[in-house]
Structure 1
């Protein structure tokens, strides 16, 4: 699994907390981390 964090450090717990489309999120996984962006295409 991955832990997603907004730029302010807030941990994303639901699609509604992810932010605006295009906003970067930090994806933390067991072997490191990488950046992803909010798509806005999901229905939550």
Structure 2
């Protein structure tokens, strides 16, 4: 298992990138701003 999982997809012409870290937090990045949206 990789320490860092990365995937991205496109919505309405914008690229959204997500990271799932080992700490089991999900981060959302859009236009150079990173926000933690889920902690589980």
Category of TM-score, reference length = shorter chain: 0.3 to 0.5
Structure with the larger RCO, 1 or 2 (CA within 8 Å, 6+ apart): 1
In proportion to residue count, which structure has more helix?
A: 1
Q: Name the TM-score, length of structure 2 as normaliser.
A: 0.38
Q: Name the TM-score, length of structure 1 as normaliser.
A: 0.36
In proportion to residue count, which structure has more strand?
A: 2
Q: Point out the structure with max Rg over C-alpha.
A: 2
